[in-house]
Structure 1
Amino acid sequence: MFEALKKKINKTIKKITEKISDKEKVEETIKETAKEETIEEPETVEKVKEEPEEGKGSNIFSFIREKTISEKDIEDILWDLEMSLLESDVAIDVAEKITDELKNQLVGKKVKRSTDIIEYTQEAFKNSIRDILTVNGKDMDSILQEKQNKKEPFIIMFVGINGTGKTTTIAKMAKYFLDRGLKPVIAASDTFRAGAIEQLTHHAEKLGVKIIKHEKGADPAAVAFDAVEHAKAKGKDVVLIDTAGRMQTNVNLMDEMAKIKRVVKPDFIIFVGDSLTGNDAVEQAIKFNESVGIDAIILTKADADAKGGAALSIGYVINKPIIFLGTGQGYDDLIEFKPEWMIHQLFT
């Protein structure tokens, strides 16, 4: 997972270390010369130590002890990194933020050995990525608890285009709530495709979850409304609403989303995106957020994502948190997303 992104980070750390270390080697040569002079002419060296010539002796020994990283040392490497990140589908704002923060954290740092350079550069990378991935938003668990206290169903609406794994993700979320002792109901509000209704029905039957569905072409908002009413009447805890997944540029689709939102007033809206599509997933999320508003993100197919561009960029760009990653086709192949988890993936 994210192997290509991990390699780019490690390559940058290596290049910065080698660039600084090349100058360090010159300093080591000076240091070795100084050691020889200490052996052959101890009295002279002692004199230099006691009475250094102004602007020479003290500066030489200080230069040997440490080096300060300058902007010139790393500017070419950071430019290469930015271009490399863009090739990995990292959004331009995110690529620029990473390189700017690396520069801010490294320039002026004093280093004594190559291991210091590696340590400082790794830490600068971790800080910048942590900052990008840490996005505050609605807390799903808190809202769920509030709804349970009121004895009302927690209503979640899922949006996203076709082919992202939205239907499977809804089934995974049903399993997620079942495992926590809650009773979900699914609303098959993608009435545009008969296949979507059949697929959701298959998942619901396998999981033993109630599904509310109408005929193909029925009003999607009516299906969602019926599911909410069923949940209220039967004491169900969570309503999971599927929606049509045509392209985000489809005006009718966005109007349909807005109508469902008006009718059932969901507590939480989740965008489901395919992590393999990189910047396309980011653009889709922007459009859905502008049209209906998004509270959180689930990225699918993360187990096959080597680039990591979408995972790194999408939350920062639309300022909404990633809450889960889909990592396979099984109902349990859903992991909670935490910034520290991704940092661990990239640096181990």
Structure 2
Amino acid sequence: MFGSLKNTLSKFVENISTKVSTRELKEEELEELLSELVFDLVQADVAYQTAERLAESIKASLAGKRMRKKDDVRSAVKEALVEMIDAQVKELGYDLIDAARKKCAERGEPYVLVFMGVNGVGKTTSIAKVANLAKKRGLTPLIVAGDTFRAGSQEQLETHANRLGVPIIKAKYGSDSASVVYDAIAYAKKRNLCLILVDTAGRMHVDKDLIEELKKVMRVASPDMKLLVIDSLTGNDAVEQAVIYNKEVGVDGFILTKADADTKGGSALSVAMETGKPIVYVGVGQTYEDLVPFSKNWLISLILEGIANEGTEKGSEESEG
């Protein structure tokens, strides 16, 4: 997972360490190595702006310090990365299931999550994973098949709902999605269901008509959280999707899917850095259990595997083939 990003940072540490082992590093040499680092980071799907910021952070961490051995360089790069992520990457700061339970108890109203994203990002599976998480923690979620556009979408959700043993609201294809959501909220209130998971039609972020329909769904649903589902394998397009969805509809947080298959790693770092919005969950496999809450420490520890101690470094390289 995130092999390219880890290897890029490991290569940078190695390049600097080789030079400082024999003499003091010149400023122009550092600039050249930082430019190469930015290029390699972009190749690892890190957004250019994020790569530039990381390079500047590393430069500041290295400036004025005498580096005599590899551990010195490694420590400086670690310090820069940790400080940047800690300062600029946001965490949600609370647990969604707990928030749903609290709202239901205090106000007698369901907690509404609306899931959106382009086709093929894993939105349906993500809804099922969140439903599974809620059920395991004692809440019965209501799944709402708000995608009345794509043939087969409602049947896919129904299959998941049946496997999980949770209720689902469906409608005829071609019907108004906002009306489906309205009816679902009324259904949940009548039956004291505390969590509503709303699916929406997958749409490209440039599809104006479907974006307008999504805005209508949001007005009716008044969601507690608007979650954009993003495929970590889509590289820099993930950042573009995040920025445009946030501008057009508003995004409260992200679910990053297929992280287990992401051999580069730049999407996770870039989405978190460039949007100012939290990644809420990360999909790390295909079963219902393969959903983990995002944390800065998870991201930091994963990335820093590339510049760990010598033993870890070698083991990592061997395991990645």
TM-score scaled to structure 1, two decimals?
0.83
* 1:137-176 aligned within 5 A: 139-141=94-96, 143-148=99-104, 149-176=106-133
State the aligned residue count: 303
Counterpart among 249, 252, 258 of residue 295 in structure 1: 252
> Secondary structure in 2 aligned to 1:152?
coil
SS in 2 for 1:190: coil
Matched, 1:15 2:27: no
Q: In the TM superposition, what is the alpha-carbon distance from 1:77 to its structure 2 partner?
A: 0.8
Query: Do the aligned partners of 1:137 and 1:295 also contact (CA within 8 Å) in 2?
Result: no
How far off its partner does 1:262 sit?
A: 0.7
Q: Which moved more, 1:107-116 or 1:325-334?
A: 107-116
Instruction: Give 1:290 deviation, angstroms.
Output: 1.0
Structure 2 unaligned runs (5+)? 306-321
How far 1:319 sits from its partner (Å)?
1.1
Structure 2 distance, partners of 1:202, 1:330, is 14
Q: 1:264 aligns with which of 214, 218, 221?
A: 221
Query: Following the alignment from structure 2 to structure 1, what is the Cα–Cα distance between the partners of residues 85 and 35?
Result: 17
Q: 1:306 to 1:81 in 2, by over 3 A?
A: same
Does the CA contact (< 8 Å) of 1:138 and 1:295 recur in 2?
A: no
Aligned to 2:39: 83
User: Could you tell me which residue of structure 1 aligns to residue 314 of structure 2?
Assistant: none
How many angstroms apart in 1 are the aligned matches of 2:205 and 2:76? Answer: 42
Task: Provide the residue aligned with 2:57 in structure 1.
Answer: 101
Normalised TM-score (structure 2): 0.90
Counterpart residue identity of residue 90, structure 2 = V
Q: Which residue of 2 aligns with 1:322?
A: 279
The answer on whether the counterparts of 1:140 and 1:268 sit within 8 Å (CA) in structure 2 is no
Secondary structure at 1:240's aligned position in 2? strand
Structure 1 alignment gaps of length 5 or more? 24-66
Residue deviations 1:91-135 (CA, integer Å, cap 9, x gap): 111011000011111111134544323322332233234434x22
The residue matched to 1:182 in structure 2 has which SS? coil
Task: State the Cα deviation string for residues 142-174 of structure 1 (Å, max 9, x = none).
Answer: 643541221210000001011001001000010
Following the alignment from structure 1 to structure 2, what is the Cα–Cα distance between the partners of residues 258 and 138? Answer: 26
Q: CA–CA distance in 2 between the matches of 1:177 and 1:125?
A: 34
Q: Deviations over 1:233-282 (max 9, x none)?
A: 00101000000002111111111111011112111000001000011111
Q: In the aligned structure 2, how far is the partner of 1:201 from the partner of 1:299?
A: 23
Q: Write the deviation string for residues 18-59 of structure 1: whole angstroms up to 9, x where unpaired.
A: 111121xxxxxxxxxxxxxxxxxxxxxxxxxxxxxxxxxxxx
1:252 and 2:206 matched: no
Identity of aligned residues (%): 43
- What RMSD, in angstroms, separates the aligned Cα atoms of the two structures? 1.6
- Hey, what's the Cα distance between the residues in 1 that align with 2:198 and 2:81? 39
Runs of 4+ aligned structure 1 residues displaced above 2 Å come to 69-73, 110-132, 136-146
Partner of 2:313: none
| Pair 1:114–1:345, CA change in 2 (3 A) | closer
CA distance in 2, matches of 1:111, 1:315: 31
Match of 2:135, as an amino acid? L
Match of 2:265 in 1: 308
1:73 offset after TM fit, Å? 4.2
Asked if residue 135 in structure 1 is aligned to residue 90 in structure 2, the reply is yes
